Amino acid sequence: MGFYLIQTLNAVAFSVLLMLCGLGLSLVLSLMNFVNLTHGASYLFGSYVAVVWLGSGAPWWLAVPAAFLAAALAGLLLDRFPFARFYGRNHLAQVLLTYGLSVMFADLMRLGFGAEIRSPALPDLLRGVVFVLGMPFPIYRLVLILAGGVLALVLWYLFDRTIWGAVVRASVADRRMVETLGLDTSRVFAVVMAIAAGLGGLSGALGVGMLSAYPGLDEEILLHALFVVVLGGLGTFRGTVAGAFILGFAMTFARVWLPEFAGFLTLLAIALLLVLRPDGLVAPRLRQV
């Protein structure tokens, strides 16, 4: 009983990490209709920033905000050039641009941070374990679950319950109409891109204590985030959360029960769900007129 409870907590921690990364990707895909394949690079960049920050002796509790700001700044610069010139173009052009940039960023990070696996120097407060039914569970993963839950609620409130979130959605639906009201939609999109990239860096900083940081992790995380967004349903907060937890639990327990076929079983489950629900688990509501 204790073993499966620990594995359930591991699945929840991994699902929360996928949720945060998936939410950043979903923001750009659903709100801006832009395919950004550099999101995995934002995650890995945030991981490296956290590793360097924690190893420098700076206050450990600022590592995650530092990773968020660093990735958000990179996203803001990319929004100015070259993303802004591709927002109105087709998805194939966007894929080619962002995938090429992701390869370039991966090589730059390999050059700057090395090719070895980098693990963070966690503070003593986060190194311990708690015992659940006599079995140890890392405190760090409990903190990850709590932090991820709080951040998800903040994002939900920001984009679904505030005037600014309504402005973002209106800018996507009818950009010219919003501009007639005197609002600069290019700034709105720049802020969304910065927040999305920052979420990638933030999830990387939170996840580095569980997954470490190494070349190639950006591609793995990007693929997982795409699975989360497509599986949950594009454009819905609840769908991204549902997709993250289904993928997180499927991957965790597939590795526990049949580690040799974990990848196959996970992809099979995703394929079956998409066959049954091609629009995603939580399809966005369409208004009929």
Confidence of residue 284 (pLDDT cuts 50, 70, 90): low
Q: Which of 123-132, 169-178, 260-269 has the lowest mean pLDDT?
A: 169-178
Q: Tell me which residue of 125, 160, 121 sits closest to 241, measured CA to CA.
A: 160
| pLDDT of 60 above 50 | yes
| pLDDT per residue as tens digits for the range 190-210 | 999 999 999 999 999 999 999
Confidence (pLDDT) at 35: 93
CATH number at 8-276? 1.10.3470
- Please state the pTM of the whole predicted model: 0.93
- Which parts of the chain fold into alpha helices (H)? 2-26, 32, 39-55, 63-80, 91-113, 124-127, 139-160, 163-173, 175-180, 185-211, 217-232, 237-257, 262-276
| pLDDT per residue as tens digits for the range 9-40 | 999 999 999 999 999 998 888 778 899 999 99
With pLDDT > 90 as the criterion, what percentage of the chain qualifies? 61
Confidence of residue 225 (pLDDT cuts 50, 70, 90): very high
